[in-house]
Amino acid sequence: MNNEQRTIAMNDFKEDPAAPPPNFPSGNLGGSYAAVQDFFKNSAAPKHILAFLKHILIERLKLPEESAKLVVLTLSNEARKAGEEEYSHLVYGDLQTGDFKWGV
């Protein structure tokens, strides 16, 4: 792994302010430039928040997927109470199977 640090200047963003910085790691965003560009344009979109939470809870904290779903369900319910309806469907309960499923 390369430990060099690079300073990102405003000139790096002149062409497209929503463009990712050079050498931005895009693996968690689907790996494509379009996915990365979408993230930079609307990083608070529910699909990006859900991807972040899944990465932190499952990949980094090693929670079982069902436990991660319960954590996100709790956050979704708190978002709904706070009036943030766009985050209220990150996880939902499937009444037919009785399982929790990822939303968005």
State the sign of the Cα–Cα–Cα–Cα dihedral 73, 95, 103, 63: positive
1, pLDDT greater than 50:
no
Return the bridge partners of 100, or none. 93
Res 85 pLDDT > 80 = yes
- Gyration radius of the chain over CA positions: 17
Q: What's residue 104's pLDDT? A: 79
The chain-wide mean pLDDT, for the chain, equals 80
pLDDT in tens, 26-56: 555 556 777 778 888 888 999 989 988 998 9
- How far is the C-alpha of 48 from the C-alpha of 45, rounded, in Å? 5
Task: Say what the pLDDT of residue 5 is.
Answer: 56
In terms of Cα–Cα distance, which of 44, 100, 43, 45 is closest to 77? 100
The residue assigned the tokens 């990083």 is 43
pTM for the full model? 0.67
